[in-house]
A and B are shown apart, each in its own frame.
Chain A
C-alpha cells in the first residue's frame, strides 16, 4: 500500500535556506545540502526546494544547489522557482531533480504545464498553488509572485485545469495558514483533493505532529509539507512519523 509522505521544504534564496513567516519575515536556517542530508537521515520521504526569490528578482537557476543535493540524496526531490520554460525544466531535471514545480509561470501561461508533461511525462510536473480565502467570492483565490499578487483564478477551477493540462501533482499552500503553526488548512486541502485525481501535497501551517494526522485523515492529503518546524528542530520527521504510525496512518 502506498504510504503518506512527509516532505520538508527548503525555501532557498541565493543558495541559503530561509523560511518566511507569511512570506515576509525571513530568517536564515542554513545550507541546503546540509539540511537535505539531515532530512534524508531522519526519514524524510521527499524534499522540495523552492527558489523564493525567483519571481521578483528575475530568473535564477539553482543548478549548483540541485547537483549538490542530488549527489547527497537517495530520496526524490522537487525544484521550483524560476522555471519559466521547457529549457529550465531540462536543466533542473538533468541536474538531478526528480520533479519541477511550476507556480506563477503556469498561471501566466498554462500551456507550459502541457509542454512539460508531454516532454517529461506528467509525473515530473508539479503545479504549486498559493491559495488564500476570498471572503467576497466565498472560495479560495490563486495568488502568484510569491503570494503577493491576487489573480482572477479560483483555486478549485485552476487545479482542474492544471490536471487536464498534465500536472502530475498539486503542491497546495494555504497562505492563510503559512507560518502560523496553527495546523494545515483541512477544508482547502480536502476540497482540492476531491476536485482532482492527482496527488495533493498540503502545505502551510504545520505546528506539530497531530496536525499531520488531521491533514492525512480529514484533509485527504497524499503528502504534507513543512519547513520551519523541521528547520528549527521543534519536531523531527522521525517524531512525526512515529506519531502517525500510532494513529494508524500508513507511513514508511
Chain B
C-alpha cells in the first residue's frame, strides 16, 4: 500500500491514476495515522517551495515524513516533492526543506556562455544513468517529461542516479537509502515513466519496515 501525501498542493490525481494503471493500491491522505500504516510514501508536488513547506509544517507532516524516512520507510518525492527532500531552496528567498538529502534547489540561470536559454526547463529530455538503483532496474534511458525552473545542485554525488543535460547537468533521479526523488513527472512520462514508478512500488513491496 502506497500513501500519497496530500498537503494541499500537488498532482494527486495523475499520480493516483498512474498507480491504478499499474495495479498498485494506494491511499491519498493528510493524516499521519493513515499514512503511517502504508508501506511507502509518495510526496507529489506542483507549486512553489515556500508554500509547500509552509503547508507541510502547518499540518505537522514535515516532522512525520522525516520520522518515517529515518525509520526506513521508502519515500519518493516527485518534481517539487523531490526538491522538498533536500536541505533548502532559493525559490523566492531561502527556505529550509526536509533535509533528508544533501543539496539545494537553485534557479536555472537562463544564460550559458553568453547565450540565453529558456526557463522553465519544460519538455521531454533524455535521461543518463550514473549508477544502478532499484528505481532504474531493467529500464533503458529514454525521454521523460520535465517542468521546472529550479534544479538541485551541490548534491551528494553518491545520491545521483540519473541526470539529463539542460545547459549543464540536471539531477533527474536521486536516491540514498530509502529516500528517492524524481525531478521529472514519471506519471506524465509515457511508458518509461510508468516503468520507473512501478520499480519504486516494487522496491516498496520488497522493503519491510517496522515503524
Contact = CB atoms under 8 A, between A and B. Distances in A.
Contacts of B99: none
A98 B123 CA distance: 12
A103 B191 CA distance: 33
Interface in B3-49: 9, 11-14, 17-18, 20-21, 46-48
A199 interface: yes
Given A124-B46, A198-B120, A2 B125 contact: yes
Contacts of B149: 121-123, 168
B193 interface: yes
B119 A197 contact: yes
B73 interface: no
Given A1-B165, A252-B143, A199 B118 contact: yes
Interface string B173-198: 00000000000010111110110000
A136 B124 CA distance: 40
Given A76-B188, A94-B12, A169-B120, A120 B46 contact: yes
Contacts of B20: 71
Centre residue among A95, A121, A168 by max chain B CB count within 10 A: A121
A118 interface: yes
B145 interface: yes
A74 B187 contact: yes
Contacts of B110: 197
Given A3-B124, A67-B13, A74-B194, A198 B119 contact: yes
A169 B191 CA distance: 26
Contact of B123 (A93, A198, A223): A223
A168 B120 CA distance: 6
B116 interface: yes
Contacts of A45: 123-124, 145
A2 B91 CA distance: 23
Contact of B47 (A98, A119, A169, A252): A119
Interface residues of B, number: 44
Interface string B106-134: 00001000001111111111100000000
Contact of A3 (B17, B125, B187): B125
A2 B123 contact: yes
A46 to B, nearest CB: 8
Interface in A115-144: 117-124
Contacts of B91: 121
A154 interface: no
Interface string B152-184: 000000000000011000000000000000000
Contact of B166 (A2, A117, A169): A2
Contacts of B21: 74
Contacts of A252: 124, 143
Contacts of A71: 17, 20
Given A1-B166, A118-B92, A222-B118, 16 more contacts: A2-B124, A3-B124, A40-B190, A73-B188, A74-B188, A75-B190, A76-B147, A93-B46, A98-B14, A98-B185, A119-B48, A119-B51, A121-B48, A122-B120, A168-B122, A197-B118
User: Across chains A and B, which 5 residue pairs bring their CB atoms closest together, nearest first?
Assistant: A96-B13, A123-B120, A252-B124, A123-B147, A76-B188
